[in-house]
Amino acid sequence: MKVKMLSRNPGDYIRERKEDLHRMPRNPDPELHPFEEAREYTRALNATKLERVFAKPFVGNLQGHTDGVSCLAKHPKRLSCLVSGACDGEIRVWDLSSRTCTSAFAAHAGFVRGVCVTPSGESLLSVGDDSIVKRWSLAAQHSSEPTHTILGKAPFLSISHHIRQPLFATASNEVTIWDEERSEPVRAFTWGCDTVSSVRFNPVEVSVCSSTGSDRSIVLYDIRRDAPLRKVVLEMKSNALAWNPREAFNFTVANEDGNLYTFDMRKLDFPLNVHADHVSAVMDVDYSPTGREFVTSSYDKTIRIYPHQSGHSREVYHTKRMQRVFSVCWSADSKFIASGSDEMNIRLWKAKAWEKLGPIAARQKAAIHESELLKERYKHHPKIKRIQRHRHVPRLIHAESRKKKEMLARRKRKEENVRRHTRPSKRTLRRPERKKHVVDTVE
């Protein structure tokens, strides 16, 4: 007679300590779990709904300016340090951890057009409408006198510092390269433009910089050469420019037509992507340190966050009091966003509106990670996709976006009608949306 004995090892299911979790035996055979996908979909749907419930992006505001905030700059070595410039010529240095102003001084007569912190983090450079470049010491907290002053020939509109060398570039009626210790420019570039509105150094290819001009042009420069490299002309003027910190050849420009255009500097014939959704001119753009997203500020009183390869924003931030947003800045830890607007306030936002601030337990962190994986897996299901994309916006922006869609649809319908009533021998090829906005490219 054959007897089968049941044998169980207590070590397989008994806890060693009372703090441990109970071990649950589970058979991974899919035939024994026919409703596993349905359960995962339900959990993904609930996680998506909870994401919108806990979406509270506003962190706080910094008050103290007596005029609109025109520019922002982050410190390269201190996460809690932020520098702001205002339209009345005042510059303030902020401590974000305590939300207090550590230093304030009257820097320029007129608008402060640009500020940047040197790579060492010891000094600050500023430019304004008074045609003066000033360097300020950040070591002395209450210093109100500049350590170095450079007098220019025209009002400066932007400034950008080299990521390694003691060089910086300014934008006025030309792009000028300066040495920190000299009062005369090292090199000057011009290419048929009366006013250069912004200039930015590439953080990866450090010898390359680019600028946007009033003649609707975007120009690339190499500071090792005596002449500009390339030039592309768009349909409307660009206000700001930002380089991708992880993809050396890609940059994004903020345009007056409410769109943003991402270009590859090796091929400027057409943009890699067109980023829509704003209903008014885009004033500023800044990339996340990860290079996967960028944030924009617009004249339509909103801030939008875009994935770098997506044509539409994943998030839009607005408040009732916030007016036209002139400048925006992403923190060095990629978790927060600062915005400066026309009503004298600097606002701090979370990069992920639903993210919890403060310490998180290990079990909660694992649960959040699992929820993110489920949302990513089922993001194309219609109900989950609708909840993820839906955002409440002000009535004016909703009406303007609807009007913009109707205009684009009419334009497209007219082009198709013209093609339909034209002889096949005289029909022109359809132009992709990316190529419609580029007027000319000059080498």
Is the Cβ–Cβ distance between 81 and 98 less than 8 Å? no
d(C-alpha 116, C-alpha 346), whole Å: 17
Residues of the chain with pLDDT under 50: none
Q: Which structure tokens are listed for 4?
A: 């089968």
Instruction: Give me the chain's average pLDDT, please.
Output: 92
Beta carbons of 242 and 286 less than 8 angstroms apart? yes
C-alpha dihedral sign at 162, 121, 178, 441: positive
Angle at 294 between CA 357 and CA 288, to 5 degrees: 55
pLDDT at 96: 93
Count of other CB atoms within 10 angstroms of residue 385: 13
pLDDT on residue 296: 97
Residue type, 429: L
Number of neighbouring beta carbons within 10 Å of residue 35: 8
> Which positions ≥6 away from 276 have C-beta within 8 Å?
258, 259, 311, 312
Q: What is the pLDDT of residue 2?
A: 79
**Could you give the CA distance from residue 329 to residue 285 in angstroms, rounded to a whole number?**
8
Sequence-ordered list of residues with C-beta below 8 angstroms from that of 170, at least 6 positions apart, any chain: 114, 127, 133, 152, 156, 158, 159, 176, 178, 199
- The answer to whether 51 and 355 are in contact (CB under 8 A) is no
Is residue 267 within 8 Å of 441, Cβ to Cβ? no
Task: Please name the amino acid found at residue 414.
Answer: K
Instruction: Label residue 306 exposed, middle or buried (CB < 10 Å: 0-12, 13-18, 19+).
Output: buried
